[in-house]
């Protein structure tokens, strides 16, 4: 017996690929640039016309110039200095440059210095989702 097809609205609610998020993925990613790549992907989704905002999208290279870096960007060893605190500072600097408001914080950190104690990641996520 074949299951009946879901109505169109049910199917729309199940979709998992939001094309606006997909288009905001920052590329190319340099060898050790996962932090700045992720930051620019999130920034473009929040503030650019590719996502939910009204500003022109920015590239990693434009952001790196704003942050004071110079080419060649592929020679920058991002790994040693791009922890959570640095990424949050960069987010603020880019927001300041474009005169937009936003905030960032660490919701849950399972490993390393200043790791979250007393709650699991799932508990923190459930609390975060219930606060609206």
In a domain, 130, yes or no: yes
| pLDDT number for residue 48 | 97
Q: How many domains does the chain have?
A: 2
- Residue 109 burial (CB < 10 Å; 0-12/13-18/19+)? middle
| pLDDT number for residue 28 | 78
Within the chain, which residues score under 70 in pLDDT? 1-6, 11, 14-16, 129-132
84 and 114 fall within a common domain: no
| pLDDT number for residue 8 | 72
72 and 118 fall within a common domain: no
In a domain, 78, yes or no: yes
Strand partners, 55: 48
| pLDDT number for residue 99 | 98
Neighbours of 22 (CB within 10 A): 11
In a domain, 61, yes or no: yes
91 and 116 fall within a common domain: no
33 and 74 fall within a common domain: yes
Residue 85 to residue 5: CA distance in whole angstroms = 48
In a domain, 9, yes or no: no
Range of the domain at 128: 107-132
78 and 119 fall within a common domain: no
42 and 75 fall within a common domain: yes
| pLDDT number for residue 78 | 83
31 and 74 fall within a common domain: yes
| pLDDT number for residue 116 | 82
Q: Report pTM.
A: 0.77
21 and 47 fall within a common domain: yes
46 and 80 fall within a common domain: yes
Residue 57 to residue 39: CA distance in whole angstroms = 13
Q: Whole-angstrom distance between the N-terminal and C-terminal Cα of the chain? A: 42
In a domain, 5, yes or no: no
Q: For 58-66, which contacts have Cβ atoms below 8 Å and span 24 or more sequence positions?
A: 58/94, 59/26, 60/26, 60/29, 60/30, 60/33, 60/36, 63/36, 63/39, 63/90, 63/94, 64/36, 66/93, 66/94, 66/97
């Amino acid at each position: 017996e074949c299951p009946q097809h879901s109505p169109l609205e049910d199917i729309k609610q199940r979709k998992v690929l939001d094309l606006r998020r997909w288009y905001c993925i920052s590329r190319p990613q340099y060898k050790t640039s996962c932090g700045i790549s992720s930051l620019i992907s999130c920034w473009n989704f929040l503030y650019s016309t590719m996502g939910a905002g009204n500003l022109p999208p920015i590239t990693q290279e434009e952001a790196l110039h704003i942050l004071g870096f110079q080419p060649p960007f592929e020679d920058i060893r991002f790994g040693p200095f791009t922890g959570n605190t640095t990424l949050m500072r960069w987010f603020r600097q880019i927001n300041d440059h474009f005169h937009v408001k936003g905030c960032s914080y660490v919701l849950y950190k399972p490993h390393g210095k200043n790791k979250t104690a007393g709650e699991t990641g799932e508990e923190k996520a459930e609390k975060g989702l219930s606060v609206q």
